[in-house]
Structures are given as C-alpha cells and as structure tokens.
Amino acid sequence: MSRVVCYVSGSRADFGLMESTLRAIHQAPDLTLGILVTGMHLATQYGSTVRDIEVSGLPIVARIPVELEPATGRTMACNIGRMLCGIVEHLDAERPDVVLVLGDRGEMLAGALAALHLNIPVAHVHGGERSGTVDEPIRHAISKVSHYHFVATLRSRERLVRMGEQPDHIWVTGAPGLDGIEALATRSRGELAASIGFDPDKRIAMMVYHPVVQEDAVAGRSAHVLLSCLLRHDVQVLAMAPNSDSGSEAIQRVLSDYAAAGHVQFKTHLGRSDFVSWMAAVDLLIGNSSAGIIEAASFGTPVVNVGSRQNLRERNANVIDAPVDAAALEKAIQKALQRGRTTASNIYGDGASAARIVELLSTVPLDLPVLAKSNVY
C-alpha cells in the first residue's frame, strides 16, 4: 500500500530546495505526495510563488493563508499559531502516513507540532545545523519533535546525537538543494545580463539579504551599508526581495529606493532555474542567504556572507564572512572579487539526496514504537 507523504511548504526558498526530491517522491511507486502550502507562497507581495508549485504539476492538497503584514516578530509568532490550527485541520482530516518538513521556518515548526500531536511521524530535513539568530532554536525545536532526521553533513548528525536523538533515526542524505543543481543553470551570463539591461563584460553581483529578527531595528540601515559598499566597487547589482521576517519592510524600502534611482535591478522573485543560473553566472553573491553557504559552492561562485544570520554554519571554501560594517565589507568584497571563482566542491552533499530520502520514506517504520519518542541520553 502506498505511503502518503505530506510536505509543508511556506516559501520559494524551501520549495526550490526540495523540488527535485518532491518530484522523486511523487514518481515513487510506493509513495503518494501531497503539498500543504502556506506563508509567503500565498502572498501577492512576495510574488504569489504558489504558482511555481502549480506549474511543476506536483499536487497541492491544502492552502493555509496567513497575514504577513506588518512584518514584525509579533506577526511571525501569531502566524505559527494560525498555521498550526490550519495544518491540524488538514492532517486530522487526511491522516497522511508521514509529514516532511525542512529547515528552520515557523511553518515547519507548526507542521511538526501538528503532526506530533496527531500521532503522525515527522521527518526533518537539514536538522542539526548551526545558523545563529532565531533560526537555530527553531531548527533544533523542530528536530526535538521529529522522529526521523535526513541531515546534510556528518557534523549535523553528530550534533543531533548529542542532543539526544536516536542515532539509528539519523541519516546523512546530503542537501536536497544540490540535486541536479548544475543542470538547472540553463541560461548563459550573456542571456541573463541582456534580460535586465546589464553589460555581461562588467562585474555583476547578486544580493540576497534577509532580516535578522533580533536585529530588525537596523535591517534597513544594514541593507543600505551593504549596497553602498557594493556600488563603490563599480559592480552591477541584482537585488532579490527579502523574506517576510520582522524587518523585511525596511529592507524592501531601501531596495526600492536604490532601484528607483537606477542603481540596482530589484526582483521580487525568480524561478528556481533562473535563480540558480544567476548564482552560477555572477562574479559575486553577497548577503546572508543559505544559498551562499550551501549551493553557491557547487559553482565556485565567490560569496561574501554578511552578518550573523548564518553564524556557525559549516562553510565551503568560496565563502568570506564579514560583519555589517563598511570597512570590513569593503575588504571582504575586494578580496572576493580579486580571488574570483574557487574549485567547485561542496561539503553539503553529492547531489544524490533525493534517492536516499525516497528510500527512507518508503522503508522506515511508522508504527507506535516510533511515535513513543524519548531522548536517549
């Protein structure tokens, strides 16, 4: 009998990372996929990225809209409760065999908590990682209410073991976002540059900068410092909209102002293939996205990781860290541009995680002993 897997998706980011794995689940003869959509996916101001899922042809089984404005910590916390109630209603009615969640977002915590209380096993992807700020405790909270763990690195596995998770319930599958990533870079630098009026022979930087909840009061100023430093290096800048976390509205205003003045090209959303194509083609990726920490290394793209959002995460050789400080940023940008591309090598996986995850979802026990979870220390 086919096992029903419910994946919770809240943003362009998590769906892009998981799309190849979700396709593999959907195609597996002994698994049935359903995607529960919530969060930024359903908001027009964030590009209505649910369309990416619709275009993929993967099955959406529920939509749980929430109000994302004002973008404050209060809104974020309240939305966890709203999403929790909506997810409980769906899971209780449909009773999937397992709930699959990824990373450290509030919607993933809501999904895991809902499943736990309904006696539905939870499988967590990308647990055990360090990332600083509010993301790290959320990630670890999800791990503590999950029954199975599909981690990206050996060190992540070791952390979960130290946290009291059962060693035989933790597998190093690699990062799903690396599966087929090279093949996704379908557009050339020249084609990409022409599409937004850039000169392909001049340096191009891509900026992906999200707010840090504990630092939301300075989010706009930080974005301004980052952009000012970039532009002093005479680079063309493609800036992506931030996520919906507290402080995002201030970043949005700064990006919009720079775009209106003709200094940057500002995009609310890019499809996964376009995003990866840009990441592969640019001379520099700058900001605080996990894409810089995990995925960019597969192309050797130079990365300047800014601030505390990815604090303590395992680094690839292409990453240079800098605080939100003009002098430090100037040096980091200069170093990254001078050093150029590194050898494509990635500690986060070999691009074959989907097959491992499908095999595990098809075979791991889902009976009562699994649900009776306790720490092993």
Tell me which fold the domain 183-339 belongs to: Rossmann fold (3.40.50)
- In the chain, residues under CATH classification 3.40.50.2000 are 3-180+351-371, 183-339
132: pLDDT strictly greater than 80: no
Residue matched to tokens 């993929």: 56
Sheet strands (E) in 209-362: 236-240, 264-267, 284-287, 303-306, 319-322
Confidence of residue 1 (pLDDT cuts 50, 70, 90): confident
pTM over 0.85: yes
Query: pLDDT (tens digit, 9 = 90+) per residue, 29-88?
Result: 999 999 999 999 999 999 999 999 999 999 999 999 999 999 999 999 999 999 999 999
Residue 217 and residue 187 in contact, taking contact as beta carbons nearer than 8 Å: no
| Cα gap 221→174, rounded to integer Å | 36
SS3 for 232? coil
Instruction: For strands 122-125 and 31-38, give the pairing.
Output: unpaired
pLDDT for 216-245, tens place per residue? 999 999 999 999 999 999 999 999 999 999
The candidate with the shortest Cα–Cα distance to 8, out of 41, 36, 47, 44, is: 36
Between the two ends of the chain, the Cα-to-Cα distance in Å is: 36
What's the fold here for domain 3-180+351-371?
A: Rossmann fold (3.40.50)
Instruction: State the pLDDT at residue 201.
Output: 97
CA distance 130 to 314: 8
Give per-residue pLDDT as tens, 299-347. 999 999 999 999 999 999 999 999 999 999 999 999 999 999 999 999 9
> Residue 292 has what pLDDT?
97
Q: Which residues pair with 5 in a beta bridge?
A: 33, 98
Average pLDDT over the chain, rounded to an integer: 96
Angle at 109 between CA 212 and CA 213, to 5 degrees: 10
The whole-angstrom separation of Cα 165 and Cα 130 is 16
